[in-house]
């Protein structure tokens, strides 16, 4: 796992769409204060039904110990999961139906 060199804490990267992960972000801040370095990537704009090239919306590289996927758009979630699997970063993606190694899909 990657750890922040200065504080030796784990880095959690949260991806959300239109505030879909805000309650989880609030909970991590409230109950995990000082235990995690939390970073968010938010998309708050309208999106087309199909996104052929998600590179406009996703970062070129991802560096984190854990990724939380609260995207509503399945094209974004799919490509995000593939990026994380390639980098060996575990992903929690609630309610999705992807079946990739390293992607954990708890029920919502």
Give the CATH number of the domain where residue 75 resides. Answer: 3.40.50.2300
Residue 78 lies in a domain: yes
Separation in Å, CA 98 to CA 51, 66, 70, 103: 17, 17, 14, 8
Residue 4 lies in a domain: no
Tens of pLDDT, residue by residue over 15-51, are 999 999 999 999 999 998 889 999 999 999 999 999 9
Strands of the sheet containing 36-43, edge to edge, are: 36-43, 10-17, 66-70, 91-92, 103-104
Question: Taking residues 88-96, what's their average pLDDT?
Answer: 90
The pLDDT confidence band at residue 108, using thresholds 50, 70 and 90, is low
Q: Are 94 and 81 in contact (CB under 8 A)?
A: no
Residue 2 lies in a domain: no
Residue 5 lies in a domain: no
In 10 A of CB 100, how many CB atoms? 15
If one counts the domains in the chain, the total is 1
Question: Taking residues 74-96, what's their average pLDDT?
Answer: 93
Is residue 70 over pLDDT 60? yes
Residue 95 lies in a domain: yes
Instruction: State whether residue 92 is helix, strand or coil.
Output: strand
Residue 24: its H or E element:
helix 22-31
Tell me what pLDDT residue 3 has. 52
Residue 84 lies in a domain: yes
Host domain of residue 34 = 10-104
Enter the tokens of residue 53: 């090239």
Residue 3 lies in a domain: no
Residue 1 lies in a domain: no
Q: Name the region of 51 (left: φ>0; alpha: ψ -120 to 50; beta: rest).
A: beta
């Amino acid at each position: 796992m990657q750890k922040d060199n200065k504080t030796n804490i784990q880095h959690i990267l949260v991806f959300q769409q239109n505030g879909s992960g805000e309650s989880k972000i609030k909970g991590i801040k409230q109950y995990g204060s000082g235990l995690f370095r939390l970073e968010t990537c938010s998309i708050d704009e309208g999106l087309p039904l199909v996104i052929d090239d998600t590179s406009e919306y996703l970062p070129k590289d991802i560096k984190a110990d854990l990724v939380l996927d609260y995207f509503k758009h399945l094209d974004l979630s799919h490509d995000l999961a593939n990026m994380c699997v390639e980098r060996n970063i575990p992903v929690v993606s609630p309610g999705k139906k992807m079946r990739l190694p390293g992607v954990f899909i708890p029920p919502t």
